[in-house]
Structure 1
Amino acid sequence: MQIYMVGGAVRDALLGLPVQDHDWVVVGATPETLAAQGYLPVGKDFPVFLHPDTREEYALARTERKTASGYRGFVVHAEPDVTLEQDLARRDLTINSIAAPARQQTASTHFDPDFSALIDPFGGQRDIHGKVLRHVTDAFREDPVRILRLARFAARFPDFSVAPETMALMQDMVEAGEVDALVPERVWQELSRGLMEARPSRMFEVLRDSGALQKLLPEVARLWGVPQRADHHPEVDTGVHLMMVLDMSAQLQAGLAVRFSCVCHDLGKGTTPADVLPRHIGHEERSARLLKDVCERLRVPVECREMADVVAREHGNIHRSAELAAAATVRLLERCDAFRKPQRFADVLLACECDARGRRGLQDSPYPQRSRMLGALGAAQAVQTQPLAQSAQAAGQDGKKIGEIIHQARVKAVQGFLASAAA
């Protein structure tokens, strides 16, 4: 039995990056062999075991044979006769197909990789040095998830290019309908991980170049070529602006819900009627309707879809909030549900800041609307609503009237805040 560290752990170590997870492959063993040594079986589709002490994953070397369309149509062969090279050959990218033999620590069951004796049959080290994302073998085409994974790696390693032959292969896969077989949960899983990478725009760039974006997110794909408003940056179309907004969200270290909101806040501009271009009148409501379709299709988590809906509907009003009087400001806070969900509202404002600064020449500009709206929310929150409600109830007022009294008290408090801020 021989053990090797493989995959992302080896890749990241060679790139000088922190190694988060250690993945190991075992050659020349059976499930019974590992079970007898205390390893715990966890794999359903193929034999994967947890180390009895470290709980790291150890998988038996395996091959895979395509039997049907999509990413589930595989037959797995995991037997002692499967070689390390055969196991590496089934992997997606050359940079993920490097193995380091394991050395057992003295008087311990733990293993350390030996990076002085790397096994690299497909040129992964060459492509790490050349900063290239390249498929290992033509078997890449058998799993459409690999298109999403490669796009995600492009976002993680933005200075890596995609090998021309790999891009051509992905385009062939899209044309053959392989992407159509992807299940929503897996698409969202990969997209959400890519959104959290260093430069998420690269994921969309690769998906668009391969043709996969048009299949998976047509609402986003059709934004390219749509002109921006003349008072924004007319030399950049809406698709390019969207990518700048998304990268700004990464620069500001925003969370997933904010980044997803940045992707979807302008979807309605892709369906703007010709007679109102490039003003995009009414694009907020169109964006909200399209967002609902995207969320249902990809089964997006509730937290992400709810925040994205607020951003889609209200980002224009938040941008213009400096022009709003106290009453309109409080109504905006109410529509955003800011009193019940103040932290989400803070994230909504962050998404709006990403939108405002995701423009050429404005990347370093301040966004005073954020502090103004947070200050207004703080002033309105300071209103003691319980005494007001109790006093109104004692006077025989109903629930609607009590709500109006609280609203007016908040307007007065925001009025005072705006006056002091302007002084």
Structure 2
Amino acid sequence: MSSGLTRRRGAGGAGPAAEGDSSNGTAPRTSTPSARDNGPETSYESTENGHKIAFDPRDISESAERSKQPKLTLMEEVLLLGLKDKQGYLSFWNDNISYALRGCIVIELAFRGRIAMEKDASRRRFPLADRNIEVIDDTLTGEVLLDEALKMMKQSEKMSVATWIDLMSGETWNLMKIGYQLKQVRERLAKGLVDKGILRTEKRNFLLFDMATHPVADGGAKEEIRRRVRNILTQRTVVLNGSQFLPESLEFRYMRSIAMVCAAYAANVLENALASLGHEARERAFAQTDDLLADYSQWPFGKKATQNGIGANLPQLINEEVNSGKDKELQLETYSCKLLACPPLPNVTFGYTFVQLPSSIQAKLSPSKSLAPTIRS
């Protein structure tokens, strides 16, 4: 008499058909290790009531990664500075920010220890912008854009910083590499800020069509970024207090802040953080930005004693951060490649050192040139 129950099929186990094969004298099918290995790894945790909870260990590693990093990435901070608080969109005439955001992706990966300059003694024969970078840690960061760029760099041949920024911006005539372009970067960053509670989503009517906009929901986040910018560019003694956006335990806090200021300058959104200053104070702040670019657009850094009295303690603070990261010199060398071509200086800052970009790229990044009303993601 049949009990009406059938044996449950396990991973790679045999079903009823396999049982019939066994009864006919043929050997039953057994699960192969390769079939099990191909699936995602699963761990179990026992609770007080004896139940087991399944979880993916990768979720735990991503959570640990996020706890060590600031709440906002460099890309998100620069985008937030450029957004109009109430309207929730960027200036349609600012095409610089698209290229700058791709540069910030490279910087952020360098700060997180995912990429570094290729360990090759002959690299010093080439300018910083032409030196190849390589992936040194392919662990996912939990940030979609960073992980997408990291996977491309891992699967591709080694290329220079300038080449990667061009490819991610879609600036290439090579049809075989057009797939490297990162699409809808601004919109994806804005949606990430919505998920983090910094922005909210609304719909606005622009003449004949509706468009999603992202006004600021948490003004404290943007004000903290503005305050940090003004601190670096106007104070004689720079002191960055700890916050969720710049934790005290964060590595390279001052270098990261300088990179953010320079990236905002290259993206032509820096003046949004200086709007509350008078005319002369703004001019001094922009002059200080030029000095920062000149001093930190080389590796090793060439910071000299300050002449205008602003940021007198910055050289010492940066020197302490560099000395604490002696084992990360190749990452810091990549920092000198952070895209920041800012007039009158044709330099860029990128992660942990700064690079001289080709004249064609300088022309694209120069905020002083007349911009066509094209909109890029």
TM-score (norm: length of structure 1): 0.25
Higher helix share: 1
Instruction: Work out which of the two has the higher radius of gyration on C-alpha atoms and give 1 or 2.
Output: 1
